[in-house]
Amino acid sequence: MYTRGLKGVVAVETRISSVDGENGVLRYRGKTIEEVVHGGTFESVAAFLWGVEKEDVEFSLREGRQLGTARIDFLRQVPREVSLMDQVRTVMSTLGTPTFLQKSLAEQAMLLTGAIPVITAAAYRMTKGRAPVAPDPELPYVANYLYMITGKKPTETSAKALETYLITTMEHGMNASTFAARVTVSSESDLPSGLVSALGTMKGPLHGGAPSGVLALLDEIQEVGSVEAVIQKKLETGERIMGFGHRVYKTEDPRSLVLRYACERLGAEEAWLALAVKAEAEIIRLLDQYKPGRRLYTNVEYYAAAIMKSIDMSPELFTPTFSVARTVGWTAHMVEQLKENMIFRPESVYIED
């Protein structure tokens, strides 16, 4: 039976996460995202998803930061007009050396996750004409990422806000990039190759680019001074309202609730956050009016944009940072795929011209 986009088709069994779209519940290995975020750190939640000890994760993530000079020198040779995502994807592909591939799959997963923020931050700084910042071995994963981007040690508040975002976006079932990663390694390719496939998928605006669109939307609302005027015009001309609606969730995205609370705790950029909260309620009302029965609610990108704005994260870094988080989920899925592997080989229906 032909199903366009494989919608509703079950392709794998997994123990990693579950997404209940009807009831708005996301679980990591049986725990709700609210339970996971409460008291969790990036390192502890990654360990939980990978099924390894937190101490091993902390050690290997730090080891993964040590890229040496060759890859940074390689980045210096990349033309500056090459997009940030393309730079990250290209350099990550160089990690699959024979020595690296001799390591256990669990260790490879941790090392790849340790490397991607270093490469992302270095590429970003060089596109701005700045020197890369070496990782600080004393800083935890998220704080070190911010430090490598800005060259300054972040405040505890900013690091915690970003950490909450990274935890909520680590994993989300059989999305496009995760499926791409699993398909690649199902051919008995390696984890770096699967990661490159996932990064290529994440680059697409239907998957990894939405937070930037939310910023543009809120900027327009702020400039016009009316939520209703901006949203009505977009709905009447058939434009998509960025940050609302999700292919799976038929109620509010549970990750958006977690991030809304994080925004409230953050307390920075109060006027911006107040605008986001006010606009959310009005947009949902208008969506219900113009698209009755569609059940379009806030998704994770809406408050992700507010978090990023509040910590002064450049919009260029939104999708790469999403990818830094999702590397945990991608690698967990690839390891799971290889444990009971069968190559993906769907059928197609030929159509006469």
Q: Is residue 4 part of a domain?
A: no
State residue 270's pLDDT score. 55
Segment 188-206, tens digit of pLDDT? 999 999 999 999 999 987 7
Q: Is residue 93 part of a domain?
A: yes
Judge residue 170's burial from the number of C-beta atoms within 10 Å of its C-beta, 0-12 exposed, 13-18 middle, 19 or more buried: buried
Q: Is residue 3 part of a domain?
A: no
Angle between helices 270-290 and 254-266 (to 10 degrees): 150
Q: Is residue 288 part of a domain?
A: yes
Say how many domains are in the chain: 2
Q: How far is CA 344 from the centre of its chain?
A: 24
More confident: 193 or 80: 193
Do 243 and 293 belong together in one domain?
Answer: yes
Q: Which domain holds residue 301?
A: 210-310
Do 62 and 118 belong together in one domain?
Answer: yes
Mean pLDDT of the chain: 91
Do 153 and 264 belong together in one domain?
Answer: no
Do 291 and 265 belong together in one domain?
Answer: yes
State residue 75's pLDDT score. 93
Do 142 and 287 belong together in one domain?
Answer: no
- Do residues 116 and 18 touch, judged by C-beta distance below 8 A? no
Do 105 and 26 belong together in one domain?
Answer: yes
Q: Is residue 181 part of a domain?
A: yes
Please choose, from the candidates 172, 233, 142, the residue with its C-alpha nearest in 3D space to the C-alpha of residue 33.
172
Do 169 and 219 belong together in one domain?
Answer: no
Do 166 and 73 belong together in one domain?
Answer: yes
Please pick, among 163, 171, 246, 333, the residue that the annotation labels catalytic.
246
Q: Is residue 351 part of a domain?
A: no
- Supply the CATH number for residue 242's domain: 1.10.230.10
Do 238 and 132 belong together in one domain?
Answer: no
With cut-offs at 50, 70 and 90, classify the pLDDT of residue 268: very low
State yes or no: is 301 an active-site residue.
yes
State residue 210's pLDDT score. 61
- Supply the CATH number for residue 139's domain: 1.10.580.10
Alpha helical stretches, state H, the chain: 33-37, 42-50, 54-64, 70-76, 84-92, 98-101, 105-127, 141-150, 156-168, 176-186, 191-202, 210-224, 227-236, 254-266, 270-290, 300-310, 318-339
Backbone torsions φ then ψ of 28, nearest 5 degrees: -100, 115
Do 164 and 215 belong together in one domain?
Answer: no
Backbone torsions φ then ψ of 32, nearest 5 degrees: -65, 155
Please pick, among 43, 163, 301, 336, the residue that the annotation labels catalytic.
301
Do 124 and 265 belong together in one domain?
Answer: no
With cut-offs at 50, 70 and 90, classify the pLDDT of residue 256: confident
Q: Is residue 6 part of a domain?
A: no
Q: Is residue 39 part of a domain?
A: yes
Last residue of a domain, one of 273, 292, 310: 310
Rounded to two decimals, what is the model's pTM?
0.92
Do 122 and 73 belong together in one domain?
Answer: yes
